[in-house]
Amino acid sequence: MVPTGAYGTWPSPIGAELAATHDGRPEYLGLVGDEVWWTAPRPAEGGRRALVRRRADGTEEAVLPAPWNVRSRVVEYGGHPWAGATDAAGAPVVVFVHFPDQRLYAYEPDTPGARPRPLTPLSTVGGGLRFADPAILTGRGEVWCVLEEFTGEKPTDVRRVIAAVPLDGSAAEDRAAVRELTDDRHRFTTGPRLSPDGRHAAWIAWDHPQMPWDGTVVMLGEVTEDGPFTGVRPLVGDTDESIPQVDWAPDGSLLFVSDIGGWWEPHRIRPGNLVPGVVASTALRPGRGEEFGGPLWKIGLRWFQPLDDGLIAVIHGRGTTSLGVLDPDTGEVVDAAGPWTEWAPDLVVHGDRVIGVAASPRSAYEIVELDTRTGHTRVIGSAHDDPVDPVYYPEPQIRTFDGPGNREIHAHVYPPHNPDRASPGDELPPFVVWAHGGPTGRSPLVLDLEIAYFTSRGIGVCEVNYGGSTGYGKEYRERLREQWGVVDVEDCAAVARALAAEGTADPARLAVRGGSAGGWTTAASLAASDVYACGTISYPVLDLLGWAGDGTHDFESRYLDSLIGPIDEVPARYRERSPLEHTDRITAPFLLLQGLDDVICPPAQSERFIARMAGRGVPYAYLTFEGEGHGFRRAETMVRALEAELSLYAQTFGIERPDVPLLELKR
């Protein structure tokens, strides 16, 4: 007989170290010849990103040893940080961004004695020179990419252009040798996509106060021999139309994803319609109530890729996502078989093969290949390997709850689950509501060992895709317009109350947690609601007036225009919504976690918040981490944070957990 144990006290083989060492996922797929390459997390190596190649025999190996860290800081969230090609002899050549100095480097890994050599110079101005979304043009001897250049010390003193970097290293000490292909008329840009005939380049641009999920434009320019693009003009898009990706089909058609119809859907412009005054696009799968795109948080994300035969590989879905092959002439989509419920916006194609990054509630993210001729799918890289018996994994429930005004709220509910313990009679389990970051984002339905860390110990988790989340159409996404700190807080509380009312959760033992924008929602929830007994706040926004403008990085410096309202029009709203201004309303214990190198949500906000809470008699802990930025990457940091969070819940909920370090709570 399985022994009975009080919720929260269950023993579990899923420790904090196990969860930390399996954090992160492979991303930024690319092809080098016939090989698939990608970047992979290394939490135990200081959180660096390694560049990994899959050889023809299926073996995987790191291309660069520590401390090489393949990661871009463009718009701080980064973007595609590397590109590969083969030389005349078929040997690989790779260009990559090294995180500490943000320089572009070239490397020939199969050349004996070769070392990475810099292609771009350093700059002592502000945040320096940064690069992302590179493409190697071997015939030109150049790398075309996004260049982000700081012009002053403020985070908003910055310009972005498309640039050509010489492969011969002549620009390594000479900024003037980096050739600019566009001017900086637009604040933000993606990397260029070259037409099949090499005559045109297309890219995406946008400006403050729009975020890329608000409004972007597709730009078209003519390629010249050695000068900037000419005849540059906007093709489609506007301040209220979001286009997160553009690329070329083999026949010269321009493909893009647009939310003009209420969902991110694929569109096509035929070659004959690309001339000035004629531009006309066709929606390839209109009115189906599915997303074929998403928010462009990083430069170079790919939700679709054209195939040589005219078909298009697409990622699509509502809430969850699938990999499919779209016939642009009929609108028919045939989905790949397999258990995966989430495909990252990270596709590449090679002949008849489509390669992507996918996960499920029973498997972490892995590299998956689809053979479009046979419809067969197989895992070819970063294969999921259960670190513990999967019987300890939680079983998610996809739920829809009623919110204020009868609005729908989407959520994933993970009840406590452990095969070694039975629930104790009439006791109801504690539950933690997870608020995702963004806030223009969502929680994917995938295996997360941090969730399993709690559920296997008898603490339930509920991920709330509150109003404003992506994956459910533009109307759902725009519920948060000028309502941040209201709709997200209400939706999380409504779900928590519903779980308690239906007998799923103990109403006296509810907690809330989140990081970044989720940290904001957590802090705002503790200040606005008595639903929660405690909360865990990670690298949050706490003071809207202090975060607007130069209080954060340039990319999000005008984000609050849409989330709260223009500051010059509604300044009082910035004070009314900020948790910093309402610390007197917070009575529940909390844990605040902050990276000291965070430039997106700087530690100054957390420090001001703690200063106002000190001495008020509310139990709290404030943990800071040297060397961590926005989001934790180092294994030791994640272990400390996860164990501290569990200790907070144990102390608040009256649970005995002698197996985790006691979190000291101040007052």
- 475 within a domain of the structure (yes/no): yes
User: Domain holding 567: CATH number?
Assistant: 3.40.50.1820
Q: Is 151 a domain residue?
A: no
Q: Within 13 Å and on the Cβ side, how many CA atoms surround 249?
A: 21
- Pick the last residue of a domain from 385, 417, 434: 385
Tokens of 493: 């509380």
Q: Is residue 356 part of a domain?
A: yes
Instruction: For 358-420, give the DSSP string.
Output: EEETTEEEEEEEEETTTTEEEEEES----SS-GGGS---EEEEEE-GGG-EEEEEEE----TT
Say how far apart CA 84 and CA 82 lie, in whole Å.
7
Between CA 207 and CA 216 the distance in angstroms is 8
Model pLDDT for residues 328-369, shown as the tens digit of each residue = 999 999 999 999 999 999 999 999 999 999 999 999 999 999
First to last CA, the chain: 44
- Last residue in a domain, options 385, 418, 443: 385
- How far apart are the C-alpha atoms of 476 and 466, rounded to whole Å? 9
For residues 409 and 325, membership in a common domain is answered with no
Same domain? For 455 and 474 the reply is yes
> In terms of domains, do 395 and 506 share one?
yes
Residue 612 and residue 402: Cα distance in Å, rounded? 35
Q: What is the tens place of the pLDDT at every residue in 274-297?
A: 877 767 889 898 778 999 999 999
Residues 308 and 425 in one domain: no
Is residue 398 domain-resident? yes
pLDDT given at position 458: 98
- Alpha carbon distances (Å) from 487 to 303, 443, 528: 28, 17, 12
**Strands 92-97 vs 104-107: parallel, antiparallel or unpaired:** antiparallel
| Residue 423: per-residue pLDDT | 87
381, two tokens? 């890289």
Q: 660 in a domain, yes or no?
A: no
Question: Coil, helix or strand for 91?
Answer: coil
| Identity of the residue numbered 420 | D
439 vs 521: CA distance, rounded Å: 9
**133, 139, 140, 146 alpha-carbon torsion, rounded to 10°:** 0
- Last residue within a domain, chosen from 318, 353, 385: 385
Residue 262 and residue 236 in contact, taking contact as beta carbons nearer than 8 Å: no
Give the count of domains, the chain.
2
Say whether both 417 and 322 belong to one domain: no
Q: What residues contact 269, with CB distance under 8 A and at least 6 apart?
A: 235, 236, 253, 254, 256, 279, 280, 281, 282
Q: Are residues 423 and 370 in the same domain?
A: no
Q: What is the pLDDT of residue 577?
A: 97
Domain assignment of residue 290, yes or no:
no
Tokens of 391: 């019987």
Q: Are residues 458 and 570 in the same domain?
A: yes
Low-confidence ranges of the chain (pLDDT < 50): none
200 found inside a domain:
no
Whether 356 and 497 map to the same domain: the answer is no
Residues 381, 525 within the same domain? no
Clarify whether residues 316 and 459 are in a common domain: no
Q: What is the pLDDT, as a whole number, of residue 278?
A: 67
Nearest to 362 by CA among 344, 335, 339: 339
Burial profile 522-531: b = 16 or more Cβ within 10 angstroms, e = fewer: bbbbbbbbeb
On whether the CB atoms of residues 92 and 33 are closer than 8 A, the answer is yes
Q: How far apart are CA 559 and CA 77, in angstroms?
A: 14
Please give the residue range of the domain that contains residue 361.
303-385
Residue 594 in any domain: the answer is yes
**Are residue 365 and residue 456 in the same domain, yes or no?**
no
Q: Same structural domain for residues 544 and 464?
A: yes
Domain with 373 in it: what CATH number? 2.40.10
